[in-house]
Structure 1
Amino acid sequence: EAGSDAGAGGVRAGTQPLWTGPADGVQVRVTGRHGRLSRLPAGLRVELVDPASGTASAPSYATTATATATASTVPQPVVTTRSGWGADESLVKDPATYTTDTKVVFAHHTAGTNDYTCEQSPDIIRAIFLYHVQGQGWNDIGYHFLVDKCGTVFEGRAGGIDKPVLGAQTYGFNTDTSGVAVLGNYNDALSSPPVREAVAAVAAWKLGLYGYDAAGSVVLTAAADNGKYTKGQKVTLNRISGHRDGYPTECPGNNLYADLPAIRTLAAAAQAG
């Protein structure tokens, strides 16, 4: 989590969630080392998430492509709303926090399986939402947008897709940025044209709300020591960057990361009309 929620009681560290599909058991092997000692983290536990609990198992798809309060240089892409994937809004305890604008869009992958049907995408997103909120103690799902392998765009964190909502997606650089997570593991899979086009469309629109060139770059200041940068360090980032550019992680996977130049080109072309 970010902002005032970062130190809230019950906030826990954790891995990325792993989508299994239907399963009736789980086996986990964990190894750890601290100095010369073999040691595991205190309070280690496995979170089991049933995405159908408390929500419709097959929610209807509500979409929006309405005009926003701030004019962008490109049209808003069609987005499946939170009600469309079945978000349980009663679990979101606090209203959204807002920053100033969106200077960078970070691309992520969820690092789960690629063996899912696009009809299962709402289930996967509900599972991520429940894991972030109930497992890790966050206020809401961390990502602003999610994209499935068919190129469908989903609304993530609540507060308004055209607003600069503070998310929890690139620790140290959550302020004035937006995160788009592609469902799947893109160390394993190659991205498809619909995925690249969807990520580019979201990025071109979000950056266009503030007049930023999707092919450009910007200097941001790290807000925390995050293992890659120190608090207060000035960092030059592409307007469309990968999670690994701001944080020590493999995300968004080697294949999707290699596609970012093409995604920037698509987004810049959209901004150019």
Structure 2
Amino acid sequence: MSFELPVGQLKKPKSGAGGPSFSNSRPVYAIPVDMFTENGYPATDEKKVRMLENIVLQAGAVPFDLYLTSGTKDYTVEVEGDQDAESFKKKVVGNFPGDETEATEFAVNNLAKGFVLVAGKCKSGLASKVIGDLCNPLYLKPSFQANNQKTGFVFTFEQTNGDEHMHRDYFGTLPTEETVSPVFPPTAIQVLASDYNVVKVAVGTASTVIAFTSVTKDADAVFTVVGQDVDSTKAGTLSSTTDFVGNIIVLLKNGVSWKSLAGASISFKVFKNGTKTFLIETNRK
């Protein structure tokens, strides 16, 4: 009688392997299922865990960088179903502190939508954990509480039914706002329909006037301009315009100028009237 040798042994893990790795500084990204390209969700090898390719998203798309309070993040996998029909059902829960408008918008606009979550790498060489897939995503169930003890959201992502997979190991790259946001010189900012909705102003060598030379995003689109200058004497300055420059006019709140300093950002909504484009400020930080 011969026995087939098992492939892969469960040897003693490294010291500290059972520590709270998910609840530490490991970043969590939420990817709506419709953000993937047709074949953008990677296949796994025959053992159903290690992904073989890179995640590919629609042009200009980036995942939600989902901040969750470190000590509140909880990822569970439970086996459900009758004997011979068991499956893994996955759930991720975490708190978001405060009542920020952006968090409320995320909850309202993504209620019951399907997501794939990626628990990113906190060290180089480690695998990210991909939770959920396109056929069986995790659905967002947000809640909110404000009382004399705390104010904040609880974001719950949960599968409706289990499947044959736990989390998958992903060693590839993930597009982020940092990697896909185009960078333009301050005198020639372009806001293109094909690009992500964040544009960076290049670091300046001298004080300059910020100007938009092209805006091809549709009416009602919202985009954000981000500064990078640490030297205020070399930062670009954006002001309201009273005349059309290349059929574009900029309207800032109360006419207050904005400088492209590191950490500063300003958002606009696009309004179009024939061949004319108006950029109306909606928010700044």
Relative to the length of structure 2, the TM-score reads 0.20
Q: Which has the higher relative contact order, 1 or 2, with Cα contacts under 8 A spaced 6 or more apart?
A: 1
Query: Which has a greater percent of strand?
Result: 2
Relative to the length of structure 1, the TM-score reads 0.21
Higher Cα radius of gyration: 2
Query: Which has a greater percent of helix?
Result: 1
